[in-house]
Amino acid sequence: MEKVKSISLHNQQNRLNISNLSTMKNVILSLTLFAVCLMFAPALEAQIPAPKQSEPIALVGGTIHTLAGDVIENGTIIFEDGKITALGSDINVPAGVRTKDVSGKQIYPGLIDSYNQMGIYEIGAVDMTVDVNEQGLINPNVLPERAFHPESRHIGIARSAGVLTSVTSPGGGIISGQSSAMKMDGWSWDEMILKSSTGLIVNWPNAGNDNYEDNLRRIRDTFADAKAYRTAREAMDSGQAQRHDLDSRWEAMIPVLKGDVPVVVNANEVRQIQDAITWSEEEGVRLIILGGSDAHLVTDHLKTKQIPVIVTSVLTSSNRDWESYDARYSLPSKLHEAGVQFAIAGGSSAPYAHRLPYEAGAAAAFGLDADTALRSVTSFPATILGLDDRIGTLEVGKDATLLITTGNPIEYSTQIEQVYVEGRESDMMDMHRQLYEKYHEKVEQRSAER
């Protein structure tokens, strides 16, 4: 009998050794792949974050699109310490203010990507650079700003395209965690954070899955546990109950239960959206629909309940054979015509965040007027996510987070000439532009040799 136990233990040890070797092999392969990527990567200079605004700046002579009122022709906008202090067409620039002539240029609020993985996703093929998903199905306490990587190359690329605020969101499981609004310039996550906990991300189960009811029960049980925890903590604080241990998961959900933080439900199909609306009313929480491919089929319901939709991936085709080719292109227009509050986020992948203006531009090409399309990536997401006291429009007292352009930023031909993030004059030489300069020089040299 002892011999059998010895053999069993020996076999278990072998399996553990094999498992450890397999894990070590995967780590070594990942490190090797990462090293090879670095070895063959072009010699690019790292972008240096802009310093905080040290002197007042006046942009003079440009056309200012405040999105909070009329367009200001030949206008002036002054900002100091990262805040807009004056704007209009008859502003006297005080002495000591650095003046920049932007005559013939356009000034717009910075664009907002209301759902992506910026700062927690770098190279898809290298696992160690992807920090999107946590272990387990229920993680309401996850805050991605703590893992946000300010050195990501995707930040500079998106910033040069006009995306100055990223709402970085975790993924995986049923309750992924809470999204965080991040400024797209700075040295560290704590100085880049604009607002923590902009929404609790819930991935609504697939209605066609056999485990649909079981997964719904998990969501209900999670909120029931959070409510019970809140009751116990309140009783403890009032001296009516004994000490109750702190649980970071349920503690993070208290602002959600109070209605201070919305629940952002990732749902696309009609049944998912309708069930999510019913559930949110039962729980008494604020709801935002994320994705919303079928949102145009339930617009009356969404409008009546005043539930906003963050539309993802306008630049994509439908997954259903019976839908028209422009089903996703025209979705924002249909929501707008029905009076549903919405924003456009595009795809969640950080490497494609710079395409956000084109997502809005595609919606403008398929029925949405250009002004509304622009607002869908500026003032609309700011309002939906509670950021409108800081960004989304150009107004006195708000952050000096803005663009200087040659035209409407959602138009493909427009050039973003300079961006300011909370008054920081950002470096525009991102990786894409460095590569452009490099190969432009190659063409010039080859032409000269002929």
Q: What is the pLDDT along the chain (450 residues), one digit of tens a residue?
A: 444 444 444 444 444 444 454 555 554 555 555 454 444 444 455 678 999 999 999 999 999 999 999 999 999 999 999 999 999 999 999 999 999 999 999 999 999 999 999 999 999 999 999 999 999 999 999 999 999 999 999 999 999 999 999 999 999 999 999 999 999 999 999 999 999 999 999 999 998 888 999 999 999 999 999 999 999 998 988 888 888 888 999 999 999 999 999 999 999 999 999 999 999 999 999 999 999 999 999 999 999 999 999 999 999 988 888 999 999 999 999 999 999 999 999 888 999 999 999 999 999 999 999 999 999 999 999 999 999 999 999 999 999 999 999 999 999 999 999 999 999 999 998 999 899 999 999 999 999 988
Closest C-alpha to 179, from 194, 191, 164 = 194
Residue 223's contacts (CB-CB under 8 Å, 6 or more residues apart) are: 253, 257, 283, 285
What pLDDT score was predicted for residue 281?
97
Closest C-alpha to 347, from 362, 368, 334, 369 = 362
What pLDDT score was predicted for residue 214?
94
Q: At CA 408, angle to CA 404 and CA 413, rounded to 5?
A: 95
Per-residue tokens: 90 = 């008859």
Q: How far is CA 434 from the centre of its chain?
A: 25
Contact 254, 246 (CB under 8 A): no
3-state helix, strand, coil in the chain (%, to 5): 40, 20, 40
Separation CA 416–CA 410 (nearest Å): 11
Per-residue tokens: 325 = 């080719």
Side-chain-side CA neighbours of 163 within 13 Å: the count stands at 31
Instruction: Report the DSSP beta bridge partners of residue 86.
Output: 78
Q: Given the structure tokens 């059998």, which residue do they identify?
A: 4
List the end-to-end C-alpha distance of the chain, in Å, as a whole number: 86
Per-residue tokens: 331 = 């979705």
Q: How far is CA 346 from the centre of its chain?
A: 10
Structural element, H or E, at residue 287: strand 287-291
Closest C-alpha to 327, from 386, 286, 268 = 268
Separation CA 150–CA 147 (nearest Å): 9
Separation CA 78–CA 381 (nearest Å): 25
Side-chain-side CA neighbours of 316 within 13 Å: the count stands at 15
Separation CA 35–CA 19 (nearest Å): 24
Q: Which amino acid is located at 262 in the chain?
A: P
Q: Is 100 exposed, middle or buried (0-12, 13-18, 19+ CB in 10 A)?
A: middle
Separation CA 232–CA 236 (nearest Å): 6
Contact 185, 421 (CB under 8 A): yes
What pLDDT score was predicted for residue 18?
41
DSSP string, 307-332: --EEE--SSS--SSTTS-TTTTTTHH
Other Cβ atoms within 10 Å of 2 Cβ, number: 6
Separation CA 22–CA 198 (nearest Å): 39
Contact 268, 262 (CB under 8 A): no
Separation CA 143–CA 160 (nearest Å): 26
For the chain, the C-alpha Rg in angstroms (whole number) is 25
Greatest pairwise CA separation for the chain in angstroms: 96
SS3 of 269, please?
A: coil
Separation CA 317–CA 325 (nearest Å): 6
Contact 442, 436 (CB under 8 A): no
For strands 287-291 and 309-311, give the pairing.
parallel
